[in-house]
Each structure stands twice: as structure tokens, then as C-alpha cells.
């Protein structure tokens, strides 16, 4: 039997209306996407123009975004550059959580731990062209922002380095000086090799054989200091 119009209308009314789909917080998601895009663009501009080209105009042009967004989300150009460098920096960015764990859970840091830390830094820095540009920038330009970031890097690494140095108390071994030389060597060797392909003392770290020689020597220096500290403990209070 055919349904009359009233019955059809009642059945239609009885069907529950579909609930509108919940929308993800679009503005929040869009904001984070935009911030990520601007931060990533700093790296592109840095590689394309070097640090002299880090301007509002170049970043806006490269990202395709309104330059006003830089001020809205980062305060100014320095705020954006700082966000980028802290994200890329090995000590203040990439390794920050690991270093914080070491500082918050004090325990003896072994020669193996120390060597692993600096070998990881060598590998990370050697592969990251943008971070190489940043360190080169820091070395060649007196800049308040870069000094602030360098100080931040030092503060982050201070805890673990003090834990390492604590094990050398009572010895005449200056492990922090050794690690400063290792770190300086990482920067100098890498910048030479990656910027102009030159060798240092006849060693080319662009080649596996040269890189492995440096890695082995870094390990030997670190392990030697830990061994020497055990052998050369001095009486308490004497140097």
C-alpha cells in the first residue's frame, strides 16, 4: 500500500539528523603550520644567501607568507632567527632533552658516555649545512642575538660537563680543556672541509678514511684523560 504524504513526512522527521563533524581547531593548527614554515624558511635563506641575506623581505619572499606574520608569531626577525638556531643547535636544541636527563639524574658519566656525546656531535655537525652556517656566523660577527644563543648553549652543556669534571677532582687532568679542544677541532675541521674542501694537516674528513682517523683520535684523547685521572690522583687539597 502506498504511503500517504503525511506518513512519509512523519518518517522523515523521525530520522535523526546527522551531527555536524567536529572541526579541528583550525586557527591553532594553521598557526603552528605557519610558524614551522617560517622557521624552515630561515634555513633555506641561510643556505641560499648566507647570513647577510637573513632579512624580513627574503624570508617573506621565500616562504610566500605575509611578513607581518613574523612579527605576529615571533615578535621580530631576531625572534624568528633565534627559534631556528635553537632548534638546529646540537647542544641547545637537538641534544637538550638528553643533556637535561644527565644533569637531573646525576651518575658517573663514563669515558664511553663522553666519547659517544662528542662523536654524535661531530656526526651531526658534519651533516648539517645550516648549522655550519650558524657557527661560521657566530665566529665572524659580533651580534647580541648570537651571543645570547652561545650563552644558552653553554648553560645547557654546563651540567653534564660539571658531572664529567667532578670525576677528575684530585687529579691534574683538565678534562674540560681537552673537550674544548675536541669541540674546537670539530668546528674547524668541518668548516674547512665543507666550505672549500680543503684538508687540515693533510686529513680530509670528506673522505671516510680521514673522518675515521679524527673519530679514533677523539676517542683516544677522551679515554686517555679518563685513564690518566685514575693514575694521577693527587692528595686532597693539593694540585
Q: Which residues pair with 203 in a beta bridge?
A: 200
Q: What is the pLDDT of residues 98-147, one digit of tens each?
A: 666 666 666 778 899 899 889 988 998 999 888 888 888 888 888 888 88
Q: What is the pLDDT of residues 180-214, one digit of tens each?
A: 999 999 999 999 998 888 899 999 999 999 999 99
> Nine-digit cell at 167?
670525576
pLDDT for position 25: 46
Architecture of the domain delimited by 28-85: Orthogonal Bundle (1.10)
3 state SS of 114: helix
Per-domain boundaries in the chain: 28-85, 89-231
pLDDT for position 207: 95
Q: What is the pLDDT of residues 58-92, one digit of tens each?
A: 999 999 999 999 999 999 999 999 888 877 776 65
**What's the average model confidence in pLDDT over 10-23?**
49
pLDDT for position 102: 61
Helices (DSSP H) in 15-143: which residue ranges?
A: 26-49, 56-63, 68-74, 77-88, 96-104, 111-127, 129-140
pLDDT for position 104: 66
pLDDT for position 181: 96
pLDDT for position 24: 44
Choose among 144, 128, 51: nearest CA to 93: 128
pLDDT for position 70: 95
More confident residue, 143 or 218: 218
Give the CA distances from residue 200 to residues 125, 130, 215, in Å, rounded to whole numbers and listed in that order: 17, 22, 15
**What's the average model confidence in pLDDT over 161-169?**
86
pLDDT for position 76: 94
Of 17-21, 59-63, 222-226, which range is least confident?
17-21
pLDDT for position 22: 45
Distance from C-alpha of 130 to C-alpha of 94, rounded to nearest angstrom: 14
pLDDT for position 37: 94
pLDDT for residue 4 is more than 80: no
For the beta carbon of residue 221, count every other beta carbon within 10 angstroms: 17
pLDDT for position 23: 42
Amino acid at each position: 500500500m502506498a504511503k500517504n504524504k503525511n506518513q512519509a513526512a512523519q518518517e522523515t522527521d523521525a530520522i535523526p539528523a546527522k551531527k555536524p563533524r567536529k572541526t579541528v581547531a583550525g586557527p591553532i593548527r594553521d598557526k603552528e603550520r605557519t610558524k614551522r614554515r617560517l622557521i624552515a624558511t630561515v634555513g633555506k635563506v641561510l643556505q641560499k644567501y648566507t647570513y647577510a641575506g637573513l632579512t624580513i623581505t627574503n624570508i617573506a619572499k621565500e616562504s610566500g607568507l605575509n611578513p607581518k606574520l613574523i612579527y605576529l608569531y615571533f615578535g621580530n626577525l631576531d625572534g624568528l632567527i633565534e627559534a631556528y638556531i635553537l632548534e638546529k643547535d646540537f647542544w641547545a636544541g637537538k641534544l637538550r632533552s638528553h643533556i637535561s636527563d644527565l644533569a637531573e639524574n646525576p651518575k658517573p658519566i663514563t669515558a664511553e658516555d663522553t666519547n659517544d656525546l662528542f662523536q654524535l656531535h661531530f656526526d651531526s655537525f658534519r651533516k648539517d649545512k645550516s648549522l655550519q652556517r650558524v657557527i661560521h656566523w657566530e665566529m665572524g660577527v659580533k651580534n647580541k642575538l648570537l651571543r645570547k644563543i652561545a650563552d644558552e648553549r653553554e648553560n645547557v652543556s654546563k651540567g653534564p660537563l660539571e658531572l664529567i669534571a667532578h670525576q677528575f677532582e684530585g687529579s691534574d687532568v683538565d678534562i674540560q680543556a681537552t673537550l674544548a679542544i675536541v669541540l674546537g677541532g670539530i668546528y674547524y675541521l668541518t668548516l674547512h672541509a665543507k666550505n672549500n674542501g680543503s684538508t687540515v694537516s693533510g686529513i680530509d674528513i670528506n673522505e671516510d678514511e680521514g673522518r675515521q682517523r679524527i673519530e679514533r683520535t677523539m676517542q683516544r684523547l677522551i679515554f686517555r684523560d679518563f685513564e690518566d685521572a685514575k693514575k694521577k690522583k693527587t692528595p686532597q687539597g693539593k694540585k
